[in-house]
């Protein structure tokens, strides 16, 4: 690992909450997240993965995990698509706003791997594109998770004067 790579502190725990809607796509983020965390020295048993039905259920589960005091950070992963049953932009904004509130209210970082494309179509090319994109988001989420936890840890360490 280089000096710029994120580092895991032994004993630190993390959680990932993933929506089951479009699970084959969303799970690409989970798999990449777990692989990158392992590469950075995080043992698999230091990460809890929680499946929820859809994006709307993610914030409450993230909040409960954050309030448990067991996790240094929680990652949220979902794909919000316009299926014609709700306003896509409202749903995406509601989920993201709720997740921001969770981290501000609980002081536990919430890392986003939530995508809300305006033009998602159920055909092979879009599915392949978003599967690749979610894999990238999973890797980025792992790095952001470890870097954020480390940065917050440094902020809480008293500095000598």
The catalytic residues are 87
Q: Tell me which residue of 141, 132, 22 sits closest to 78, measured CA to CA.
A: 22
3-state secondary structure of 143: helix
Partners of 140 in the beta sheet?
none
What residues are paired with 49 via a beta bridge? 16
Residue 83 DSSP label: -
Q: How far, in whole angstroms, is CA 111 from its chain's centroid?
A: 4
Beta strand pairing call for 73-79 and 110-115: parallel
What tokens appear for 129 in the block? Answer: 């594109």
Beta-bridge mates of residue 81: none
* Secondary structure (DSSP) of 97-115: HHHHHHHHHHS--EEEEEE
């Amino acid at each position: 690992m280089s000096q710029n790579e994120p580092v895991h502190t032994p004993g630190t725990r993390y959680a990932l909450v993933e929506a089951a809607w479009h699970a084959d796509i969303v799970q690409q983020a989970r798999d990449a997240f777990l692989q990158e965390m392992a590469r950075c020295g995080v043992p698999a048993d230091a990460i809890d993965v929680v499946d929820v039905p859809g994006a709307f259920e993610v914030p409450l589960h993230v909040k409960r995990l954050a309030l448990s005091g067991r996790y240094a950070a929680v990652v949220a992963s979902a794909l919000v698509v316009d299926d014609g049953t709700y306003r896509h932009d409202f749903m995406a904004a509601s989920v993201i706003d709720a997740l921001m509130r969770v981290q501000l209210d609980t002081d536990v970082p919430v890392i986003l791997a939530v995508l809300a494309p305006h033009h998602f179509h159920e055909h092979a090319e879009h599915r392949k594109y978003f599967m690749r994109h979610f894999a990238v988001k999973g890797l980025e989420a792992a790095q952001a998770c470890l870097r954020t936890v480390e940065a917050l840890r440094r902020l809480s360490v008293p500095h000598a004067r």
